[in-house]
Structure 1
Amino acid sequence: MRVRKLTLAAMALAAGLSLTACQNDDGGTDQGAAPPAASTASSSNGGSESAGTGSSGADGSGGSAGSDGADGADGSGGSDGAGKTPNGTGGTGGTDGAAEDGKPAKCRTDELEITATDATVGGDTEGTVAVDLRNGGGRDCTLAGYAGVDLKTNAGTLSAERTGEQAPPVVLVDGDTVTFGITYPMNNTGGSGVRITGLVVTPPNETKSVTLDWPGAATLPVTDGSGTPVRVGPMGSAGQGD
């Protein structure tokens, strides 16, 4: 009996120890649970901070909007202002517009069809070449003043002199033609003279030239500079500008 009592007592003691151990384990678990909870809160705070960073990022995006890339686009729109500057590229546009005096802008070389024909009348003491400028640019344009005229010769280039007549602006409607004249001395000396090999025409206020075949007499008289010069009339002179 005693042995059984001792056995029961031992079992009771073991059970008590086991219960105590379980209680200690539960308590340890509870204590251990608190730190994770704090960690979770911290993580949550960190998440808020991340969210805050995210919203800062959003603010940053807003900053992009704030930097007004759109405004930058408006700056591109400012390039429209540049466009206002063409004749531009923008410069070209300016050429297409009206000039300050209200007339169409100047005619460009590339817009003109330039041809030359012999216009000498029998019995004239001087030869005449008529130069036609036809507006083929698709818009009205203005020619003002004198064209540049150079004769290519076997002795070098000879520049024509202006007649000195007034040269009012000529508004050339699209498809219309204006003519000016070139007069030159006839070679009646009986000598071979100076051979003409080409005609170079530069429209008024332009720098681009057009080279044409010379349609007049083949030669000019050789002079010491005291003879009649080659002369060019203003727009509209039709070969009678002298």
Structure 2
Amino acid sequence: MRVHKITFAAVAVAAGLSLTACQNGDDAAAPGGGPSSASTASPAPSAPSTTGGADQSGGKGSPAVAGGKGTAAGTGSDKGGASGSDKCRTGDLEITAIDSTIGGDTDGTVAVQFKNHGSRDCTLSEYAGVDLKTDAGSISAKRTGQHPGPTTLKKGAAVSFGVTYPLNTSGGSGVRVTGLVVTPPDETKSVSLAWPGAATLPVTDGSGSPVKVGPIGSAGQGG
């Protein structure tokens, strides 16, 4: 029996040592686990990152907010655009042309009228684009060079400008005019109209356009 007790005691001591060794092993692993834990917590420094992210969010949020407020700012921008869009657009204008040549004048005159049938007041800068279609090709009217500044066209109101051209008194057949193309100021969309003036222009030596366009509001002023 004594032998068995001693053996049992030896086994118990060995088990105790083994358990201690295991615990020591676990403790030793803990430092490694510590970093591992810290490493896992690294996303927690993500908290700084999150804070940084929040800052970035805030930074991005600023534009986003700026975008949101920028909606107001954007609206302002749109207003700026709207003030840009306060310019009279081709679709807002009823465009007509009539012969307004006065007897005894050496040049013929066509008055082109812009009438605002849009829903708001709009602005016209100084010159419209004018081209005459002829059987010899297109002739672009040359600006007279006056600078009266922009014109505000009230809703429902109208304003005119003059197009002057030399009358064909040569006795020859001249250059036949087949149409008038008008482009409102700062626009790209044009309107084609019937030409209401004299049927022909005199043949020129090609030293410059014989057709001139006056600024908005110049009709009746000789271009």
Pairing of 1:53-68 with structure 2 (within 5 A): 53-67=39-53, 68=55
Distance in 2, Cα, partners of 1:48 & 1:75: 41
**Would you say how many aligned residue pairs link Structure 1 and Structure 2?**
215
User: Pick from 113, 123, 138: which aligns with 2:93?
Assistant: 113
Q: Secondary structure at the match of 1:57?
A: coil
Structure 2 residues without counterparts, runs of 5 or longer: none
Structure 1 residues without counterparts, runs of 5 or longer: 1-14, 98-103
1:66: how far off? 1.4
User: Pick from 206, 212, 232: which aligns with 2:192?
Assistant: 212
2:213 maps to which residue? 232
1:200: how far off? 3.1
1:194: how far off? 1.1
1:179: how far off? 1.9
1:157–1:53 Cα change, 3 Å: same
1:101 maps to which residue? none
1:10 maps to which residue? none
Q: Secondary structure at the match of 1:52?
A: helix
Percent of residue pairs identical: 36
Distance in 1, Cα, partners of 2:52 & 2:44: 12
| TM-align CA RMSD | 3.8
- Aligned partners of 2:127 and 2:214 also within 8 Å: yes
Q: Secondary structure at the match of 1:28?
A: helix
Distance in 1, Cα, partners of 2:93 & 2:151: 16
1:77–1:175 Cα change, 3 Å: farther
Q: Deviations over 1:117-139 (max 9, x none)?
A: 22336846454333233446655
Q: Which has the higher contact order (CA 8 A, sep 6+)?
A: 2
1:182 maps to which residue? 163
Give TM-score, length-normalised by structure 2. Answer: 0.72
One-letter amino acid of the counterpart of residue 72, structure 1: K
Pairing of 1:1-242 with structure 2 (within 5 A): 15-67=1-53, 68-69=55-56, 70-75=58-63, 93-97=79-83, 107=87, 109-110=89-90, 112-113=92-93, 115-120=95-100, 123=103, 125=105, 126-135=107-116, 138-165=119-146, 167-187=148-168, 189-204=170-185, 206=186, 208-217=188-197, 218-224=199-205, 229-237=210-218, 239-242=219-222
Distance in 2, Cα, partners of 1:148 & 1:63: 59
1:32: how far off? 0.5
